[in-house]
Amino acid sequence: MDVEDIEIQLFVRAMQLRHGHDFSDYAPASLKRRVLQLVQTHGTGTISELNRRVLHEEGFVGHVIQGLSVPVSEMFRDPQVFRALREKVLPVLASYPQINIWQAGCAQGQEVYSLAILLEEAGLYERSRIYATDFNDAALAAAGEGIYAARDARDWSRNYLEAGGTLSFSDYYSARYDFIKLDKRLRRNVTFFNHNLVTDVVFCEAHLILCRNVLIYFNNTLQDRTLGLFRDSLVRGGFLCLGTRENIDFSPAASGFTDVDHALRIYQVGGIGARPLTR
């Protein structure tokens, strides 16, 4: 066995036993890349030296979590997905007196604000509640701030229009120096909190769950567990939206979902053709 692979296993054990973070069901290839990236960033030379700091150095685990969690996204990434949410999903959600949405793995919050804008423009935001979760506290804090680099605003404006935005993206932020700050009114019905998909359980009855490009970092076992968690969190007829290249065909838990738009990975729980749920 490769020395590096032994070191990675020790790293996973150290994170688990010392800090209670379980990465053992992450997809191995990308986990290895990220751990090697941490070695570079922190100049530890070897994974073993990284492990020593994980075990002995107070506060170092925060940097490690930062390096191992879902990276930066963009506003209205894959605009056609947001267009489909606007056209196919929100009209159904409009029939509920109270709409609960779970953004799982919200990272720095770009998709949370995209969603809030979508709901605002559909006239549904007042009766919506967005639960935005991540296991990375630093990302959650950044998401709550809603401050992003101004250089991204131009791409995001284009995304916004392609997603069917009815106003101008610049109506939603104020620019200062090299940063944009999103209107804090977009946050009024958002609750940010720490939730770990690996270990935590159902916490709400959701009508829509967005979790894009998070499951790609999990192995089949953890993907299946997470999809089961989503299925159990959704009301009958509730929607799930994943990343456009994610593949859930091998997951037993996926049998509870039917396609709303397969190409865009929008699913519905307990729709026509779904097998009966065993809970």
Partner 1 sequence: MSRHDAIVIGCSAGGLTALQRLLPGLAPNLTAAVIVCCHTGSADVSLLVELLARVSALPVAEALERSHITPGMVHVAPTGYHLLIEEDHYFSLSVDEKVAWSRPSIDVLFQTAADAWRERLVAVLLTGANSDGARGLAAVRRAGGHAVVQDPEDAESDIMPRAGLEIAGADACLPLDAIAAHLNSLCLP
Judged by beta carbon, residue 32 or residue 83, the one nearer partner 1 is 32
Q: Are 149 and 179 contacting, i.e. CB atoms less than 8 angstroms apart?
A: yes
Decide if residue 216 touches partner 1 (CB under 8 A): yes
Of 133 and 223, which has the nearer Cβ to partner 1?
A: 223
Q: Provide the minimum distance between the beta carbon of 254 and partner 1 in the complex, in angstroms, as a whole number.
A: 11
Instruction: Specify the stretch interacting with partner 1 by CB under 8 A; choose among 87-95, 116-124, 167-175, 216-224.
Output: 216-224
Q: Does 18 bind partner 1 (CB under 8 A)?
A: no
* SS3 category, 180: strand
Residue (of 66, 138, 83) closest to 109 by Cα position: 138
Q: How far is the CB of 188 from partner 1 (least distance, A)?
A: 29
Total residues at the site for partner 1 (CB under 8 A)?
23
Q: Is 33 in the site for partner 1 (CB under 8 A)?
A: yes
Among 246, 255, 258, 274, binds partner 1 (CB under 8 A): 246
Q: How far is the CB of 205 from partner 1 (least distance, A)?
A: 29
CA pair distance 266, 279, nearest whole angstrom:
22
By beta-carbon proximity to partner 1, the closer residue of 119 and 197 is: 197
Strand order across the beta sheet in which 190-194 lies: 190-194, 128-134, 99-104, 206-211, 234-242, 266-269, 257-261
Phi, psi of 142 (to 5 degrees): -65, -40
Residue 32 touching partner 1 (CB under 8 A): yes
Q: How far apart are CA 159 and CA 75, in angstroms?
A: 7
Query: Please, are residues 208 and 89 in contact by the beta-carbon 8 Å criterion?
Result: yes
Q: Which residues bind partner 1 (CB under 8 A)?
A: 2, 27-30, 32-34, 70-73, 213, 216-217, 220, 223, 243, 245-247, 249-250
